[in-house]
């Protein structure tokens, strides 16, 4: 057992191992143009690392797929509002 301050460093992308999308069909998160994003967004809603995922996508200018529960278009809007 580790004390809370002795936990091993999971690294910068360690959150990805805890992401619910890692346990589901990846195709749902990268739908064809015009395809439904509903299934992916439903998974994101219940995910504990949703905020880290969205932060990563925004910081790395991810242009495809559902990240942190948002589509590429929704992330662009969010970035414009933040500027």
φ and ψ at residue 67, rounded to 5 degrees: -130, 125
Check whether 53 is labelled as a binding-site residue.
yes
Task: Give one word for 42, left, alpha or beta, with left for phi > 0 and alpha for psi -120 to 50.
Answer: alpha
Q: Is 11 annotated as a binding residue?
A: no
- Tokens representing 47? 């995910």
Residue 5 counted as an annotated binding residue: no
Flag whether 47 is marked binding: yes
Binding residues for [4Fe-4S] cluster: 21, 44, 47, 53
Binding residues: 21, 44, 47, 53
């Amino acid at each position: 057992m580790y004390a809370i301050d002795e936990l091993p460093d999971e690294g910068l992308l360690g959150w990805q191992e805890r992401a619910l999308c890692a346990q589901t069909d990846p195709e749902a998160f990268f739908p064809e143009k015009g395809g439904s994003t509903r299934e992916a967004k439903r998974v994101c809603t219940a995910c504990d690392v949703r905020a880290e995922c969205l932060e990563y996508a925004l910081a790395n200018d991810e242009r495809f797929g559902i990240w942190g529960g948002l589509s590429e278009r929704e992330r662009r809007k969010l970035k414009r509002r933040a500027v």
